[in-house]
A and B are shown apart, each in its own frame.
Chain A
Amino acid sequence: MTDLNKLTLKEAREGLKTKKFTPVDLVQSCLDRIKLLDVKLNSFVTVISEEALKQAKTVDINLPLGGIPLAVKDNYLTKDILTTASSKLLDNYIAQYDATTIKKLKNAGAIIIGKTNLDAWAHGSSTETSDYGPTLNPWNLNHLPGGSSGGSAAAIAADETIISVGSETAGSIRQPAAWCGVVGFKPTYGRVSRYGIIAMKSSTDSPGPICKTVDDAATLLEIMSGHDPRDATSINEDTWKKPEIRQNLNGLKIGLPLSYFSPQTQPEVKEAILKAVDILKKLGAQILELPDVLDPKYSIAVYTILQRSEVSSNLARFDGIRYGHDRSYFGTEAKRRIMLGTYSLSAGYYDAYYLKAQKVRTLICQDFDKQFQKVDAIIGPVSPTTALKVGASEGQAMFGELQDMLVEPSSIAGLPGISIPCAFDKTGLPIGLQIMAPQKREDLVYQIAKLFEDNTDYHLQRPNL
């Protein structure tokens, strides 16, 4: 049995149920792939072979994810497994408990085969700031995978795993998914519990799946979602359920914000989105240009202030007393963010920065409310460019913010969104289409994405590795 690792979740489930192969075969196949490729790609910080194979022997395949190999971003706490957030500061930190989502995924039968690389503390959009070295883009090893969930996105693109989970604070699921040509589903803030995920910007951190297809991602979201009494910001609703698949998009109004096409947007990216617009039109959607959506540049400012402020506080617990290493083990990026956040929260500056940013955040939320009175969903490019070259983020303190500028507004507003592959540029690098909807309307995001995917074949293409 070869290439089991290339299966989607749906295919793997069918194969397991019809006994074409066993969970051990499936796990082994992914581990083999990791062994073969990860020396180059560096998607994983930790690979869990023995324990994964042991679990594969006894797992109940009737569970929703029974026997399915899962790659977990290394900022999720996984009991008894090294959890580093890709920082050397935590290079010997074995988590004492499972994140709520990890518990749910384990209970559903998923088998953790490894912890994936990220920008240290999830601070970045390149996975280049990881203290364990950069992850490379499976489509072109000279390019970056995006980030911060770059390891998870690359692992999916390279078929090193069947499913993976990442987390997004402002683009960290959608942007690497776009650059790696896979599906990244960022749920509404509060839809998936944050408990047990190393906090970055608490007020927008949203864990979510990164998978090979829209359907796989939605299946994972069903399992990950649901109210968690341990997270006071979690939505007080039961688990999210996939809605019916639509036959067409008749009657649906989809908005296209003109401000999302700045001069920095690569022409090929723009073309790809306009091509996607045609497909959506053919599927029955009415496309409305939105001329007055707030310029995403405001979101960069808001996000930068709020994120740095929260980071400076969230990282205070690593004070040199409890985790083996002192604060000198923070990398340059973390130090820079802690300093900026400390500054923006300081007496005399708080009003000018933090408070002002919160006010603008409210305006951004109101702007979305206004737009969603006109349209049901909004689409746009995920990133202004395709994957940039390795080294592009070096010395660029605002690298992440510029790459994420088109996903930051919806993150700040806590909206659900998805990135799906919608084209390739001349050099063969993937381009992502994002679909956003009002809070709690993952159903719309899913329906549009699913229908788009069913009518295109970008998701079927795989890098030549």
Chain B
Amino acid sequence: MKITPIIGIEVHVELKTKSKMFCGCSADHFHVEANIHTCPVCLGLPGALPVPNKVACQWCVKLGLSLGCSINEESFFERKNYFYPDLAKGYQITQLQKPFAINGRLNIDGHNIRINRAHMEEDTGKSVHVDGSTLLDFNRSGVPLVEIVSEPDLISAEEAKKYLNKLQQIIRYIGISDADIEKGSMRCEPTVNVCIDDQFYTPLAEIKNVASLTGVMNAINYEIKRQVDEYQSNKITKNSTNKTTRGWDADKNQTFLQREKEGSADYRYFPEPDIPPITFTKEQIEEIRQTIPKLPDEKIAEYKLLGLSDYDASQLADTKEFAEIFEKIISLDQSPEFAKFSANLLIGPLKIIEIDINKINPDHFKELFDKKSELSSTAIKQLILDSYQSGQDPLVLAKEQNLFQVSDTGALEAFAKEVIEANPKAVEDYRKNPLAIGFLVGQLMKISKGSANPQTGKEILEKLLK
């Protein structure tokens, strides 16, 4: 049996604008006392009217452009009508017919994932269930949300994860959201079904409540298996009314049925009469485009031109801040050697959690690079970390700690003679097998307390043993 998973993902991202989507309330709702960031508009009081947040609309366009979307010069908001206790107005203001951004793509390892749309909407309030009753908190009501809808182009849980990682990376690069899945500022809802033997399609299942990237992967994998099993037992295939919504139970590591017949939901969309249509002129779109920084793909390509490996380049481009400090460092010396040298340090000793990019001093890299022949690679790694932590000049630290390697032949000869005398067995080995020189060099490094230049030390040993 041939199994081809078909996966599309809806991603909701909360924008980190100062104020909410349609009123002046603070958009901050994480660990905030309930219902303090509210006003008539986000509480949906009678008579209150929404006024769209310009910055949020621009950011949605910015994200659209970053995902290669076309921007609708004329778009408008619509009402999506449904009842839910935490939906204050009885409708959500969103975009259906004319979203800000359409027809984008995201490239995952050479596979183009088409993006149907990136549209602007508002978040709902939050229902908090306590002791059998439900409390409502409207701090989140009206927080700007961008919904990014992919086409069902993803073919595995692994690819879905990469897609989400990359999306998250771009969102953070352009600075419009923390895109933190655990905190709920990025929410992912995969829709999964399976094509069996290139001809049978299992019913669609949309998965909700996935709160981590691993969760997304596990949920998709679980769902693929569940659908294949179910198909084998009942042979039911997809039709226009048998889409279901399933929840993800991370503890049990399985999905469970939430709602059936999703196809029949009718939200009675119609154009929001309280908000006039919104236009973005070509010039305005261009202005927004100018605010987009170089994105990871572009940076990775540039770094590879410096001779860095795929892995190194993508590590450096991981976050905008990291990439920026790397670029600042290599602006001090254009040579590929320096780029490689700096890259090794950044993704080696300095790739630590909670790194404070502002504490990294590019000059330290250059100083160490210029003295690299006099310092062991271990010492260099230690020095870059110490100078990051203390802010002190690494060369001063090297001197204090006696880390400069001795290349003075006189001093090294003395060490070498001592080593030869103390290790007659090893000398004998060397005479049989020249590769055994390694042990003697090691001994030399040891008695010199690491200060010897290993290359010079080796040469002197070989000369003395000739």
1/0 per residue, CB under 8 A from A, across B34-71: the answer is 00000010001111111110000000000000000000
Q: Are B273 and A310 in contact (CB under 8 A)?
A: yes
Query: How many Å lie between the Cα of A95 and that of B40 in the bound state?
Result: 10
What residues on B are CB-neighbors of A4 within 8 Å?
A: none
Residue B432 interfacial (CB < 8 Å): no
How many Å lie between the Cα of A319 and that of B40 in the bound state?
16
Known: A316-B83, A347-B266. A198 touches B274 (CB 8 A): no
**Interface check B425, CB cutoff 8 A:** no
Q: Mark A59-99, 1 if CB is under 8 A from B, else 0.
A: 00000000000000000110000010100001001011101
Question: Could you tell me the distance in whole angstroms from the C-beta of B133 to the nearest C-beta in chain A?
Answer: 12
Asked whether, in the complex, the Cβ of A232 is within 8 Å of the Cβ of B50, the reply is: yes
A77 and B47 contact, CB distance less than 8 A: yes
Does A202 count as interface, using CB distance less than 8 angstroms? yes
Contact yes or no, A317 B273, CB < 8 A: no
Contact B90 A313 (CB under 8 A): yes
Q: Are B44 and A313 in contact (CB under 8 A)?
A: no
CB contacts (< 8 Å) of B270 on chain A: these are 309-310, 313, 345, 350, 354
Asked if B315 is at the interface of the complex by the 8 Å CB criterion, the answer is: no
Known contacts A232-B276, A233-B276, A345-B270: does B47 contact A316 (CB below 8 Å)?
A: no
Nearest CB in chain A: distance from B83 CB, A: 6
Counting chain A CB atoms within 10 Å of each CB, the highest count among B44, B50, B270 belongs to B270
- Cβ–Cβ contact A342 & B46, under 8 A: no
> Does A194 make an interface contact (CB < 8 A)?
yes
Q: How far is the CB of A257 from chain B (nearest CB, A)?
A: 27
Q: Which of A197, A199, A203, A316 has the most CB of B within 10 A?
A: A316
Known: A316-B90, A317-B90. A345 touches B48 (CB 8 A): no
**Do A317 and B47 contact each other (CB < 8 Å), given the known contacts A232-B52, A232-B274, A232-B275?**
no
A57 at the interface (CB under 8 A from B): no
Whether A345 touches B81, Cβ cut-off 8 Å, given contacts A202-B273, A313-B270, A316-B90, is yes
Given contacts A346-B266, A347-B266, contact A231 B49 (CB under 8 A): yes
With contacts A195-B47, A347-B266 taken as known, whether A202 is within 8 angstroms of B274 at the C-beta atoms is yes
| Bound Cα distance A197, B276 (Å) | 18
Cβ contact of A229, chosen from B47, B51, B88, cutoff 8 A: B51
Contacts of A231 in B (CB 8 A): 49, 51, 274
* A171 at the binding interface (Cβ < 8 Å): no
B80 to A, closest residue via Cβ:
A313
For A85, the chain B residues whose CB sits under 8 A away are: 46
Give the residue of A197, A321, A346 whose beta carbon is less than 8 angstroms from that of B268.
A346
Residues in chain A near residue B46, CB distance under 8 A = 77, 83, 85, 90, 93, 95, 198-199, 317
Quick check: A230 and B49 within 8 Å, CB to CB?
A: yes
Chain B residues with CB under 8 A of A93: 46
A194, B273: Cβ atoms closer than 8 Å: no
A-chain residues with CB within 8 Å of residue B90 when the two chains form the complex: 313, 315-317, 319
Complex-state Cα separation, A312 to B270, whole angstroms = 11
Kindly identify, within residues 269 to 319 of chain B, every residue whose CB is under 8 Å from any CB belonging to chain A: 269-270, 273-276
Whether A432 sits at the interface, judged by CB under 8 Å, is: no
How many residues in B have their beta carbons less than 8 Å from beta carbons of A?
27
Task: Assess whether B88 is in contact with A196, with CB atoms less than 8 Å apart.
Answer: no
User: Is B16 an interface position by the 8 A CB rule?
Assistant: no
A321-B85, A346-B266 in contact; A313/B91 too (CB < 8 A)?
yes
| Given A313-B79, A346-B266, residue A97 in contact with residue B40 (CB < 8 A) | yes
Q: Does B89 contact A (CB under 8 A)?
A: yes
- Chain A stretch 349-371: residues in CB contact (< 8 A) with chain B: 350, 354
CB distance from B94 to the nearest CB of A (A): 13
Chain A residues contacting B79 (CB-CB under 8 Å) are 313
Please state if B47 and A199 are interface contacts (CB–CB under 8 Å).
Answer: yes
Residues of chain B within 8 A (CB-CB) of A313 are 79, 81, 90-91, 268, 270
- Chain A residues closer than 8 Å to B45, beta-carbon distance: 77, 96-97
- Whether the pair B47, A232 counts as a contact (CB closer than 8 A) is no
Complex interface: chain A residues within 8 A of B274 (CB): 199, 202, 231-233
| Majority secondary structure of chain A interface residues (helix, strand, loop or mixed) | loop
Q: Are A203 and B273 in contact (CB under 8 A)?
A: yes
Known contacts A97-B45, A232-B274; A319/B83 CB under 8 A? yes
- In the complex, are the beta carbons of B51 and A232 less than 8 A apart? yes
Q: How far is the CB of B122 from chain A (nearest CB, A)?
A: 14
A309 to B269, alpha carbons, bound, how many Å? 10
Q: Which interface residue of B52, B136, B266 has the most chain A CB atoms within 10 A?
A: B266
Proximity bits, B74-105, A CB within 8 Å = 1, else 0: 00000101010100111100000000000000
Q: Could you tell me the distance in whole angstroms from the C-beta of A317 to the nearest C-beta in chain B?
A: 5
Residues of B within 8 A of A198 (CB): 46-47
Minimal Cβ-Cβ distance residue in A for B274: A202
Q: Contact check, B47 vs A99: say whether CB atoms are below 8 A apart.
A: yes
B242-270 CB contact bits vs A (8 Å, 1 = yes)? 00000000000000000000000010111
Assuming A96-B45, A313-B90, is B268 touching A342 (CB within 8 A)?
yes
Give the Cβ gap from A464 to chain B, nearest Cβ, in Å.
Answer: 38
Q: Within 8 Å CB of B47, what residues of A?
A: 76-77, 99, 194-199
Which residue, A85, A199, A201, has most C-beta atoms of chain B within 10 A? A199
Residues of B within 8 A of A312 (CB): 81, 268
Contacts of A350 in B (CB 8 A): 268-270
Mask: chain A, 310-341; 1 = CB below 8 Å from B; 0 = not: 10110111010110000000000000000000
A279 → chain B, closest Cβ, in Å?
Answer: 39
A319 contacts which chain B residues (CB < 8 A)?
83, 85, 90
Bound CA span A201–B274, Å: 10
A317 interface neighbour in B88, B266, B268, B276, Cβ under 8 Å: B88
Residues of B within 8 A of A232 (CB): 49-52, 274-276
Q: Which of A220-237 contact B (CB under 8 A)?
A: 229-233
B51's contact among A99, A230, A317, A322, by CB below 8 Å, is which? A230
**Complex formed: what's the CA distance from A93 to B274 in Å?**
23
Contacts of A197 in B (CB 8 A): 47
- In the complex the two chains form, is B89's CB within 8 Å of A317's CB? yes
Give bound CA distance, A48 to B79, whole Å.
37
Q: Could you say which residues of chain A place their CB within 8 Å of the CB of B276?
A: 232-233
**Chain A contacts for B275, CB-based, 8 A:** 232-233
Contact of B48 among A83, A90, A196 (CB under 8 A): A196
A439 to B305 alpha-carbon distance, docked (Å): 62
Closest-by-CB residue of B relative to A97 is: B40
B83, closest chain A residue (CB)? A319
B81-A195 in contact (CB<8A): no
In the bound complex, how far is the Cα of B49 from the Cα of A83, in angstroms?
17
Please, which residues of chain B bring their CB within 8 A of the CB of A229?
51
Inter-chain CA distance A201–B48, complex, in Å, is 14
Bound complex: CA A354 to CA B273 (Å): 13
A175-216 to B contact mask, C-beta < 8 Å, 1/0: 000000000000000000011111101110000000000000
User: Nearest B residue to A341 by beta-carbon distance?
Assistant: B268
User: Nearest-CB distance from A194 to chain B (Å)?
Assistant: 6
Shortest CB–CB separation between residue B89 and chain A, in angstroms?
Answer: 5
In the complex, what distance in Å separates the CA atom of A384 from the CA atom of B45? 37
Question: What residues of chain B lie closer than 8 Å to A202, measured between beta carbons?
Answer: 273-274
Residues in B with CB closer than 8 Å to A83 are 46
Report the minimal beta-carbon distance from A355 to chain B, rounded to whole angstroms: 9
A347: nearest chain-B partner, CB-CB: B266
| Cβ distance A383 to chain B, nearest Cβ, rounded Å | 26
CB distance from A348 to the nearest CB of B (A): 9
Whether A195 touches B273, Cβ cut-off 8 Å, given contacts A313-B91, A317-B90, is no
Beyond the given A202-B273, A203-B273, A316-B89, please list 13 additional residue pairs across the A-B interface where CB-CB is below 8 A: A77-B45, A97-B40, A195-B48, A195-B49, A196-B47, A196-B48, A199-B46, A232-B276, A233-B273, A312-B268, A316-B81, A322-B88, A346-B268
Task: Please provide the 5 A-B residue pairs with the shortest distance between their CB atoms, ordered closest to farther.
Answer: A316-B90, A345-B268, A203-B273, A202-B273, A196-B47
Name A's B-contacting residues (CB within 8 A): 76-77, 83, 85, 90, 93, 95-97, 99, 194-199, 201-203, 229-233, 309-310, 312-313, 315-317, 319, 321-322, 342, 345-347, 350, 354
* Interchain Cβ contacts under 8 Å between A and B, 7 examples: A95-B46, A199-B49, A315-B90, A316-B89, A317-B46, A321-B85, A350-B268
